[in-house]
Chain A
Amino acid sequence: MEISVRNLTVRFGDNVAVDNLSIDIADGEMLVLLGPSGCGKTTTMRCLVGLQTADTGEITIGDDVVFDSARGINVPTNARNVGMVFQSYAIWPHMTVNQNVAFPLRMQKRGKAEIRERVQEALELVGLQGYGARGASNLSGGQMQRVALARSLVMRPRMLLLDEPLSNLDAKLREKLRYELRELQQSLGMTAIYVTHDQSEALALADRIAVMRDGVIEQLAAPVQLYRQPRTSFVADFLGVDNIFPAEVTAEDPAGGTALRLRDFPVEMSSAAAMPAGSPAFVCIRPEHVRLSAAPGPGPGNCLPATVVSSSFLGDRTRYHLRVQRGPSLYATVSEELDPLPPGNDVFACVPPDRVQLLAD
């Protein structure tokens, strides 16, 4: 179902947690709210399900206005029919798996036979058939997560909210469940909102990602676009751009591109991006776009003399911490199957100008 949020504002005392936020979510879409803790992503989600009352704004689910501060409408949580998977799973420890999953249906006053059938169905959907009679406190983290999911799906909610549902699991299980979750959501065509601070989770799951900061959406875009064209240095940083330096445009090349100088170091670079001379900018370079070579390459390119400070072999790639001569620290990941260079080695770190992004903010 389509969701529409208009001018949502939540204050905690003097602190504005969500600041005049508006967003539309399409039917069947998975939207990820991404941001550091305290950015307002969880508060936004809690407003949607009605666990948090916003100060002002309007929320519509389908054709149904569930919250409108101007008209005094605030549908209570239990009447919203929105599913939610909590970070702590919130599996009731005094009930069995069956009782946990049956709870929403009992609240809807369904018949016994229907409840049994739908609980069975939901447990199969999440791969927990045969676990129904188990006490909920004897489950592993991953199983609890599945029960929580089944409990939300069984009520056939108008949308599904997921509040960092994978953050309490170990890395391997987290990755496995991530793909399962995405496949399930797509096959059910469920509108879903997923809150996380993990960029790789966001990229893997989302139809669109809203990067949030201080209660406002900094950028809203599809994963590929967000990754390739971050709008601000904050978004770039959050999406794993390790090398961000304040700089100044010294000259604009009529053929396209710019010449720059870093603000804190006597280092000059060039970029393919266009920007008027004299304007301040942030230089953003992804670590995988840095190439290491023994000699400066031919033709145009930013080849900076640097020294290896440390290197860590990560299996499919090697990550270097470099110190540019009279310049900043630079991080590079190299995926060629070569022996890592030992610390102290002098190299040239080369970044093609079209890989040097310039951001105004």
Chain B
Amino acid sequence: MARSPLTSRVGRRAPLLVLLAILFVLVVLPMGTLLYASFVDVPPRPGSPPGSFTAGNYAALLSGGNREALLNTVVIGAGATALALVFGCSLAWIAARTDVPGRAVVQMAGIMPIFVSSLVGALAWSLLASPKQGYLNIALRSVGLPDFVNVYSVPGIIFVAGIYYAPYSFLLVNSALSLLNPELEEAAYVHGARFRTVLGSITFKLVTPALLGAATLTLVLIMENFPIPQVLGSPDGIHTMPSQIYRLMATAPSQPNQASAAGALLLVITAVMVFMQRRILATREFVTVTGKGFTPRRRALGRWRWPVFAFAAAYLLVAVVLPILALIQSTFRTNPYTRDIAAMFEPSSFGTQNLLEVLTSSDLQASLLNSVMVGSGAAVFGGLLYLVLGYYVHRTKEPGRRYLAYIAMWPAAVPALVIGLGYLWTWTRFPLIYGTLAILVLAFIGHLLPQGFQGISSSLIQVHADLEESAQVCGAGRIRTIWEVLVPLIRTGVISTMLLIFILSMRELSVAIFLFTSRTEVLSISIYNEWEGGRLPPVAAMSLVYIAFLFVLTFVARKFFGVRNQGL
């Protein structure tokens, strides 16, 4: 009979220390270096002197362009969040609780804008509604109206951010509404309430936690969003914190320490909001929204059925159909100048040369390859890390596992652009990593830690610990138990999490914007650089390729691997 002595203390602590060290490098170190850079007067580049401490970087945030950017961030954040909530919640209620015709279409309308990343959404809307040359303005002029729409404005940015961030509230509120026990509403009708009262004081009150969660999540995402204000704001000098950080870094003379201070401030703002969101969700968990499978009874809309459907269709048109039409229009035009609406349908001015040029260009192929490599690297190495982390947190009783779970959620509060900046300052001294694809892989693994860890955790939690314990009772050791029982049961979940990581890395621009070099451009960066260079038809063509790629990937992930995530 085998007898093992109680395992020694050091041996038991070793995995914890290794995991803590990895998380330290991925999460704590970049943020620490960023903070350091924000308090000195010399950027932490290789060969530069250590510099002396100063609070001047923070003082500079309160004046001029920096202060305006802060103000814009708040205004755009609040406005776009309100718009996103209105769209997201009404679509969620329509899809979950009414007998709207074509419910599948409504469901699709709620999610699809996520496939069109905010970068492509912003680019397409600049094609649609830029002053003068925007297709919508051309159309308006053709019917004798003045130039009406201008997306290069604060309301324009609010509008575009609002429509592209609506899916997050849609997903959260939709799932809460689907899980709501319909008897709670029926009871209100029985006790004499009318439809409007039930909707206001029962239905939406019960999903308040989801609503508040969606609101704070959306606010954080919009405030940290970089592509939308960069594409739509910079032509007219409108900046938010993220685009201002980029401007401080990218325009000469660059002010990297001020940029770091701005990044730290943005980090503090988002961190406080994420913390508040967690507090709200922790204290207001209503037990009525259970995991039990109810068939929600649907509200008969009567004569409102088609108007309600039209609302959903209009949203789909604005968020998906028009932008894609604009990209197609721009891609297939031989002459970039469009005189009037008739010219948009003039067969002679169309050709496939833009698309062919883009498809055959070695730059696009190189950046697509880079994207796939970075995405795969993040998915495989990140997936393994999240798996080990999840196992340690959920399947051992070691002390310290709570700290790991806690630190793993930190990046959720860190803006993507700020992560990139932190990694830049941390790794710029290590030429073996910096300037290669490895730095991008590392940054994505760190940035996507919360999603990856949660994805793996949820599949681990679904496997009842009894299943593994009974294998041990039957004579299997720990490794054997993992291999024969745990792995087969969580395989699908792990693969779908890896796929999620792959897609989210493919979609990401902001993390990479400070970390790429000319040899390590990923697809999103190539599109952005082409846009900055001012050549719109190739931008449109590449965007089409990009979203087609994302769409296929996401479809495969959802259809065949059951990927269901707030971000997908």
Q: Is A315 an interface residue (CB 8 A)?
A: no
* B23 → chain A closest CB, angstroms: 26
Contact (A77, B473) CB under 8 Å given A90-B466, A90-B467: yes
Contact B2 A76 (CB under 8 A): yes
- Please indicate the chain B residues that have their CB under 8 angstroms from the CB of A87 in the complex: 466
Q: Do B5 and A75 touch across chains, with their CB atoms under 8 A apart?
A: no
Chain A, interface residues (CB within 8 Å), range: 20 to 34
A104 CB contact (under 8 Å) in B466, B469, B475: B475
B196 cross-chain contacts in A, Cβ below 8 A: none
**CB contact under 8 A between A75 and B474, given known A86-B469, A88-B464, A94-B489:** no
B66 to chain A, nearest CB (A): 49
Instruction: Report A-chain residues with C-beta under 8 Å of the C-beta of B477.
Output: 76, 78
Q: Does A155 contact B (CB under 8 A)?
A: yes
Q: Among the listed B3, B466, B476, B489, which residue makes an inter-chain contact with A78, where contact means beta carbons less than 8 Å apart? A: B476
Q: Name B466's closest neighbour in chain A (CB-CB).
A: A90
Q: Judge if B6 is at the interface, Cβ distance under 8 Å.
A: yes
> Which residues of B1-51 are within 8 A (CB) of A?
1-6
**A64 engages B1 (CB within 8 Å):** yes
A7 to B488, CA, bound (A): 40
Kindly supply a per-residue 1/0 record for chain A positions 162-206, scoring 1 wherever the CB is within 8 Å of any chain B CB and 0 otherwise.
000000000000000000000000000000000000000000000
When the two chains form their complex, are residues B473 and A103 in contact, meaning their CB atoms are under 8 A apart? Answer: no
**8 Å CB contacts to B: which residues of A93-118?**
93-94, 103-104, 107-108
With contacts A75-B1, A94-B489 taken as known, whether A107 is within 8 angstroms of B469 at the C-beta atoms is no
B-side contacts of A51, CB under 8 Å: 469, 472-473
In the complex, A26 has a CB within 8 A of chain B: no
**Cβ–Cβ contact B488 & A103, under 8 A:** no
Would you call B485 an interface residue if the criterion is a C-beta within 8 Å of the partner chain's C-beta atoms?
yes
A265 CB contacts on chain B under 8 angstroms: none
Is A255 on the interface with B (CB-CB < 8 A)?
no
Residues B467 and A92 in contact, CB atoms below 8 Å apart: yes
B519 at the interface (CB under 8 A from A): no
Q: Which of A50, A73, A76 has the most CB of B within 10 A?
A: A76
For residue B471, which residues in chain A have a CB less than 8 angstroms away from its CB? 92, 103
- In the complex, are the beta carbons of A78 and B469 less than 8 A apart? no
Is A49's CB within 8 Å of the partner chain B? yes
In the complex, A50→B477 CA distance in Å?
12
Instruction: List A268-293 residues whose CB lies under 8 Å from chain B.
Output: none
- What interface size band does chain B fall in? 20 to 34
Taking the complex as formed, is A314 at the interface, i.e. its CB lies under 8 A from any CB of chain B?
no
Contact A81 B475, CB 8 Å, known A74-B5, A75-B4, A76-B4: yes
Chain B positions 142 through 182: 1 when the CB is less than 8 Å from some CB of chain A, otherwise 0: 00000000000000000000000000000000000000000
Q: Are B3 and A151 in contact (CB under 8 A)?
A: no
Complex formed: what's the CA distance from A75 to B473 in Å?
A: 12
Return A339 CB to nearest CB of chain B, in Å. 38
A74 touches B475 (CB 8 A): no
For residue B205, CB closer than 8 A to chain A, the reply is no
Residue B480 CB within 8 A of the other chain: yes
Name the contact of B475 in the complex, choosing from A53, A88, A107 (C-beta under 8 A).
A107
User: A209 in the interface, Cβ–Cβ < 8 Å?
Assistant: no
B470 interface residue (CB < 8 Å to A) = yes
Are B466 and A86 interface neighbours, CB within 8 A?
yes
State the CA gap A75–B4 with chains docked (Å).
6
Closest to B2 in A: A79
From A50, A80, A103, give the contact of B476 (CB < 8 A).
A103
Most buried by A among B466, B474, B485: B474
A82 to B464, CA, bound (A): 20
List which A34-79 residues lie within 8 A (CB) of chain B. 49-51, 53, 64, 72-79
Please measure, in the bound complex, the distance between the C-alpha atom of A103 and the C-alpha atom of B476, giving whole angstroms.
9
Q: Decide if A108 touches B466 in the complex (CB within 8 Å).
A: no
Q: Is the CB of B485 within 8 A of A92?
A: yes
- Nearest CB on A from B173, distance (A): 32
Q: A74 contacts B4, CB within 8 Å?
A: yes
A83 interface residue (CB < 8 Å to B): yes
Minimum CB distance partner of A61 in chain B: B1
Q: Please, how many angstroms separate the alpha-carbon atoms of A269 and B442 in the complex?
A: 81
Closest Cβ–Cβ distance, residue B482 to chain A (whole Å): 13
What are 12 inter-chain pairs, A to B, with CB distance below 8 A?
A49-B473, A74-B4, A75-B2, A78-B474, A83-B473, A86-B470, A90-B469, A92-B471, A92-B485, A103-B471, A103-B484, A104-B474
Task: List residues of B whose CB falls within 8 A of some A CB.
Answer: 1-6, 464, 466-467, 469-477, 480, 484-485, 488-489
Give me 4 other A-B pairs in contact (C-beta within 8 A), A86-B466, A90-B470 excluded. A74-B4, A89-B466, A90-B469, A151-B474
- 5 closest A-B pairs by beta carbon, nearest first, are A107-B475, A90-B466, A90-B470, A104-B474, A77-B472
